[in-house]
Chains A and B, each alone.
Chain A
Amino acid sequence: MAQDLGESQGQLPEEVNEFLVESHENLDRLDRDLVALEADPMDKERLSSIFRTIHTIKGTCGFLGFQKLESVTHVGENLLSKLRDGELILNPAITDALLAMVDAVREMLARIESTASDGEVTYPELIARLTEAAAGSLSGTVAVAPVLAAAPADEPTKVEPVVDNPSQSEALAPPVVATSDLASKVAAADAAKEPIEAKSVISDSSVRVDVGLLDRLMNLVGELVLARNQILQHTAGEANSALVATTQRLNLITSELQEGVMKTRMQPIGTIWSKFPRVVRDLSQSLSKHVRLELEGKETELDRTIIEAIKDPLTHLVRNSVDHGIEMPEIRSANSKPDEGILTLSAYHEGGYVNIEVIDDGAGIDPLKLKAKAIEKGLITVEQASKMSDREVQHLIFMPGFSTAEKVTNVSGRGVGMDVVKTNIERIGGSIEVNSELGKGSTFKIRIPLTLAIIPALIIKSAGERFAIPQVSLVELVRLEAEQAKVDIDAVDGAPVCRLRGHLLPLVKLSEVLKLESELVEDEGATNIVVLQADHRQFGLVVDHVVDTEEIVVKPLGKQIKSVNTFAGATIMGDGRVALILDVMGVAKAGHVVSESLDSRSGSVSESRGDYVADKEALLLLGLGHSARVAVPLASVDRLEEFETDSLEWAGSQPVVQYRNGIMPLLWLASALGVDAGDASDSKLQVVVHSSLGRSVGIVVGSILDITEEQVTLDPYGSRDAIRGSAVIQGKVTDVVDLTPLVEAVVGELVGVGVIE
């Protein structure tokens, strides 16, 4: 490989260039560290840092194919690891040997830079000397471990000189140098053979800047952005045209500066992609699969902190796609697909975010298989599974403790699951989605912010205070006028929900969650709902006013308030005041919207099978007739609907309504339970939609009272077929009803009904 690289002389491959720049710097530091270490041989931190440096160089040159460099650093690393572990103590002899190694490495690097190969010199003496030192037998070496002290002093060297080309190795008799200033002699010998440019060029072409300085610059730019926002506000109604023009210029310059400073922290995503061709190749070989990797948008840039953070999740996704996504060649050809699977990594910018897609043309995700697996693992119940859309099912793979690989391979399924991938991506404010078509392949789409420092946010007001909501969590804004709100918001007491396009959206009042004293100056009685996404669950945040969207600079909170997890940080607004940034996940938890997540729910349901005692579950409270109250598990409720009495039709003896281009049979809960329905004078039917056996059934109830989540202790008194028992809920005796047996009885009767236009 080293020889191959020689062809492109003068223009080294990018990864070699990077390796050189990095190594030159590391070596400079190494010199200083080694000398400092001699003064304090027990400085563990310094030793570890030296070890890491050499380890990195060794690893990279192994990858790039510089074998001679690798063999020298390898023995050096051995020696250093012993020093680091305290088996040996540094003395001048060892330091000399290590410094000689640094010199040798530097020579080889210079050679790589000028000839793109690490040359023919193999440094056998240096290797021998380092090996000897590592064995604790170099003159003057003090071995700490007794085992090592007992080792024979003249232990033969095990390391063979490594030479690429045997024919050349004969011609190149290793020079025998016994003294300690071997490095300089080798260098002199080299200098005669192949002239090396005195000054390294690559290391001068770029400047390394302290990350701390960049962060400070970023902060200052953040301040400038805020000051600019302020000036823009002040000059909005200004007549002085010179001032307005200057402000415009300031505006432009600030934006450009912001962009420029952000760029200094940017790295192309290609830096982490560069290792994937190898990963994919090795992996597909070991699995006997044919996989072609295609990279699109390598030059897409991301903040360096984010690049670091997505490295591991991305690697996992790539491995996962090769292992689980792409099928064996036989299966592929049987399905008339080309033998070779294609794995595409694609990155592109989109409105302040970067999208990274991992696309394979493999088997795709089988929702049935997934469901079965999830049920088997107790992650969801059969009932939940029957109601899940394919999309929801696909997202099951992100649940903790999920792995569909039929057998655990050494490739994936080592306990690091997709849930970890998801958590890691969410930690940096990103999101991940999966889209899969059975037989066609899967696409994992990661969406991450360009930078963590300046983010677009929605500014809202609640109880007179402003709060910022990161736009990444924002789904939509809903404004319900007073009249509409009365219709669309149900069960205002306790746990309000909103009917939004046929779905029930749990509502959380921000002022309640934050225990703010709401001024009750509601926006002309209208309700402003900010629909947010928290962990694949949507909820509506009720706020007093929606102000505007703005670019905000995220600032950390002091440790005295770090423990409040409803806030992700703070920002300074245009008027100089501080506004808190909401942590959407934290707000959802505080509002109990996600406390009952799928995994926690499944636990309680599986335990409660058999005895329905003392499990906490969300219940929908319904009124029947004058005074009867029943509760049904919220999990069994699809939707709440309202139908005009006029829309009632009959299919034989079965009352039905037309619903979503189909026919939905209706069932009167009161009569099914044998309760007096009272006078049905109301012109509207309140209907709870429940699905069973693949069919939706509308359950007509008297009224919808509330949603409650509480620990219910059931008294078996009055328990019948569909009634689990009775309990005291919200201070009243309430029957808890199981809808499934009731509905199945109706669905069983209903075969062969269709709509005739």
Chain B
Amino acid sequence: MNIGNALAVGENEHEVSLKVQQYCTFFLGDLYLGVAVEDVQEVIRQQEMTPVPLSSPLVKGIVNLRGQIVTALDLRHRFGMSAYEKPPMNIVIRADDGPVSLLVDEIGDVVELDQSSYEATPETVDKLSAELVTGVFKLQGKLLLVLGLDKAIQFSEAA
């Protein structure tokens, strides 16, 4: 989420090496995605979920997170993928108005990334992903897509 700032700093050549950021990574289908660690409240296992009838198909249900009601969002559906094949993990995001859980296939490591390897989303990424991904980190042998949380959490009913 702080990519904007990070980029601004990145332009300043001397500070590049100082500016590293930690990302919490996860897998969704064949995508390798990440969100800035400070946006993540916690990662929890599959929770007992209560479906919410009549809500958007992106809402998988609501879960009880230590007494707080947290909406769990179907990220696979958001990326136009088929349903989860195994019990998903919850990445609980600190949103402006309370936590929101993103359901993902698998949790990766927390990685420390240098802003110098950051690039804007390439044109070739398909339209839906391009909307949800704010940028890409070039890693050895693979790409880490940075998930745009604003877009992922806020959606219109039509989405």
Contact = CB atoms under 8 A, between A and B. Distances in A.
A515 B59 contact: no
B51 interface: yes
Given A555-B69, A558-B69, A572-B67, A578 B55 contact: no
Contacts of A222: 67
Most chain B CB neighbours (cut-off 10 Å) among A219, A465, A561, A580: A561
A121 B59 CA distance: 67
Contacts of B157: 563
A556 interface: yes
Given A555-B69, A576-B48, A560 B55 contact: yes
B121 interface: no
A564 interface: yes
Interface residues of A, number: 27
A578 B98 contact: no
Contacts, number: 72
Most buried by B among A560, A577, A590: A560
B78 to A, nearest CB: 12
B109 interface: no
Contact of B62 (A516, A559, A570, A576): A570
A578 B67 contact: no
Nearest to B62: A578
B64 interface: yes
B117 interface: no
Contacts of B67: 219, 222-223, 226, 555, 572
B50 A561 contact: no
A579 interface: yes
Interface string B68-98: 1111010000000000000000000000011
Interface in B16-67: 48, 50-56, 58-59, 62-64, 67
Given A514-B53, A561-B62, A578-B50, A555 B68 contact: yes
Contact of A577 (B59, B64, B71): B64
Chain B interface residue bracket vs A: 20 to 34
Give the most central of B63, B69, B71: most A CB within 10 Å.
Answer: B69
B100 interface: yes
A489 interface: no
Contacts of A557: 62, 69, 71
Interface in A542-580: 555-561, 563-564, 566-567, 570, 572, 576-580
A533 B125 CA distance: 53
Contacts of B69: 555-558, 570, 572, 578
B50 A560 contact: no
Given A558-B98, A560-B59, A560-B73, A572 B64 contact: yes
B100 A558 contact: yes
Contacts of B53: 465, 514-516, 564, 566
Nearest to A563: B157
A560 B51 contact: no
B64 A567 contact: no
B71 A561 contact: yes
B132 to A, nearest CB: 16
Nearest to B155: A560
Interface string A198-230: 000000000000000000000100110010000
A563 B156 CA distance: 11
A566 B54 contact: yes
A579 B62 CA distance: 9
B98 A580 contact: no
Contacts of A566: 53-54
B80 to A, nearest CB: 18
B71 A558 contact: yes
Nearest to B96: A559
A557 B62 CA distance: 9
B89 to A, nearest CB: 18
A560 B153 CA distance: 8
Contacts of A219: 67
A559 B64 contact: no
Contacts of B56: 560-561
B48 A577 contact: yes
A451 to B, nearest CB: 18
Interface in A567-610: 567, 570, 572, 576-580, 590
B83 to A, nearest CB: 16
A576 B68 CA distance: 11
Contact of A514 (B54, B58, B73): B54
Given A219-B67, A557-B69, A572-B64, A579 B59 contact: no
Contacts of B97: 558-559
A29 B68 CA distance: 34
B52 A561 contact: yes
A465 B63 CA distance: 14
A511 to B, nearest CB: 9
B96 to A, nearest CB: 9
B51 to A, nearest CB: 7
Contacts of B71: 557-558, 560-561
A553 to B, nearest CB: 9
B50 A579 contact: yes
B42 to A, nearest CB: 16
Contact of B52 (A556, A564, A572): A564
A219 B56 CA distance: 28
A557 B97 CA distance: 11
Interface in B96-147: 97-98, 100
28 contacts: A219-B67, A222-B67, A223-B67, A465-B51, A514-B54, A555-B69, A556-B69, A558-B62, A558-B71, A558-B97, A560-B58, A560-B73, A561-B55, A561-B56, A561-B59, A564-B52, A564-B53, A564-B54, A564-B55, A566-B53, A566-B54, A572-B67, A577-B48, A577-B50, A577-B64, A578-B50, A578-B62, A578-B69
Interface of B: 48, 50-56, 58-59, 62-64, 67-71, 73, 97-98, 100, 153, 155, 157
Interface of A: 219, 222-223, 226, 465, 514-516, 555-561, 563-564, 566-567, 570, 572, 576-580, 590
Given A515-B54, A558-B70, 7 more contacts: A465-B51, A555-B69, A558-B97, A561-B71, A576-B64, A577-B50, A590-B54
Q: Which 5 A-B pairs have the closest CB atoms?
A: A558-B71, A514-B53, A578-B50, A223-B67, A555-B69
